[in-house]
């Protein structure tokens, strides 16, 4: 079957089943192209809660589909490849965060969205790379001890930006972002002297210090769209370049490193989306008691992001 034939069939099923397809910016281009909405995990979860579709096929990784399910408990949320996880989210285990909560009852737990619903149960608030700095700043004013996790790098970045912020950091990270180095950035800058380097806050501080702009996928895409500059060295997962090139056909984008290819995100192929929508398999289910507790920190984030 050709891509075009698959697209036609998918569009037909979408109408018949009143389904929509959401895709993260890190997904394969052919998945982004058939999606009704492409975005970051926050925007996609909000979209999931607003739509009147009965079925949401979430092309991304497991924690993202879970977050969408938390916000839309009555809808059928499907994840085309159930094994598509997130290395960083798996660096926090439920028993460990539960123990931390018990041992630190007064600590405010700020939980990066890249975490399981089971772990989110123990958090006071959820954050994403788009609203992280703002929400951490908000809580820092309360003067209470704070834990940020599982991504230590965004936490370190927040502390570097404001001397008033003191965070206990969970020892988690994204392998592909954390693995990038200042040397790689300097080499790329030497190769592309007219390009601006932009980076995602999941990178290490030594990399972020070299960046003209630091932001979430959404932030980076908006930045390149508005910037006067014509060339960029991109310091995040390769999938974002598809949207950047669509919005800015006259600009050039160079990926900082070939390592910026998230294996988990790329597990989803067009065939998986096709089969998932056809068979309505891989439904995300979260036990009600867990969902009630985990939803609270996501709701709190939405309230603070207004
Ligand atoms: O929140 C998201 O979607 C992630 C994982 C990255 C980003 O910056 O959008
Ligand atoms: Fe997780 Fe890293 Fe992949 Fe993002 S790029 S989904 S943090 S493994």
Comparing C-alpha atoms, which of 42, 45, 83, 46 is closest to residue 62? 83
- Has this prediction a pTM greater than 0.85? yes
Give nearest CA residue, ligand 2 atom 6: 86
What is the dotted CATH code of the domain comprising 180-255?
3.40.50.10800
How far does residue 261's CA lie from ligand 2's centre (Å)? Answer: 9
Strands 108-112 and 146-149: parallel
CB neighbours of residue 80 within 10 Å: 26
Q: Which atom of ligand 2 is nearest to the CA of 202?
A: 7
Residue nearest ligand 2's atom 7 by CA: 174
Query: What spacing in Å lies between the alpha carbon of 69 and ligand 2's midpoint?
Result: 19
Nearest ligand atom owner, CA of 177? 2
Query: What confidence tens digit (pLDDT) does each residue in 252-287 have?
Result: 999 999 999 999 999 999 999 999 999 999 999 999
Rounded distance between C-alpha atoms, residue 160 and residue 137, angstroms:
12
Domain with CATH 3.40.50.10800 in the chain: 3-84+265-285, 89-174+291-304, 180-255
DSSP assignment letter at 90: G
174-224 tens-digit pLDDT: 999 999 999 999 999 999 999 999 999 999 999 999 999 999 999 999 999
Which residue, judged by its Cα, is nearest atom 8 of ligand 1?
216
So what's the pLDDT on residue 163?
87
* Residue range 72-104, pLDDT digits in tens: 999 999 999 999 999 999 999 999 999 999 999
Q: pLDDT tens digit string along 235-247?
A: 999 999 999 999 9
For 3-84+265-285, CATH gives 3.40.50.10800
Is-contact 297 124, C-beta < 8 A? yes
Helices (H), 18-59: 29-34, 41-50
The class that CATH gives domain 89-174+291-304 is: alpha beta
């Amino acid at each position: 079957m050709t891509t075009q034939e698959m697209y036609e069939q998918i569009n037909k099923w979408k109408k018949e089943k009143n389904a929509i397809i959401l895709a993260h910016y890190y997904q394969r281009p052919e998945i982004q192209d058939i999606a009704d909405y492409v975005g970051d995990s926050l925007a996609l979860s909000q979209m999931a809660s607003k739509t009147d579709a009965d079925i949401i096929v979430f092309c991304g990784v497991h924690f993202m589909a879970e977050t969408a399910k938390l916000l839309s408990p009555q809808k059928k949320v499907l994840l085309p490849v159930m094994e598509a996880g997130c290395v960083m989210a798996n660096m926090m285990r439920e028993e460990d965060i539960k123990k931390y909560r018990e041992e630190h009852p007064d600590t405010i737990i700020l939980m990066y969205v890249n975490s399981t619903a089971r772990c989110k149960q123990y958090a006071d608030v959820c954050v994403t790379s788009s609203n992280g700095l703002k929400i951490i700043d908000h809580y820092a004013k309360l003067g209470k001890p704070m834990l940020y996790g599982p991504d230590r790098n965004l936490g370190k970045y927040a502390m570097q930006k404001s001397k008033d912020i003191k965070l206990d950091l969970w020892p988690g990270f994204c392998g592909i972002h954390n693995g990038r180095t200042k040397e790689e950035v300097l080499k790329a800058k030497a190769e592309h002297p007219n390009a601006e380097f932009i980076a995602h806050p999941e990178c290490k501080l030594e990399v972020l210090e070299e960046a003209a702009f630091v932001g979430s996928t959404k932030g980076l895409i908006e930045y390149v769209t508005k910037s006067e500059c014509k060339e960029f060295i991109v310091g995040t997962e390769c999938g974002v370049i598809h949207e950047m090139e669509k919005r800015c056909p006259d600009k050039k984008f160079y990926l900082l490193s070939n390592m910026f290819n998230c294996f988990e995100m790329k597990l989803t192929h067009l065939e998986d989306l096709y089969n998932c929508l056809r068979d309505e398999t891989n439904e995300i289910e979260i036990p009600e008691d867990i969902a009630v507790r985990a939803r609270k920190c996501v709701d709190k984030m939405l309230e603070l992001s207004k």
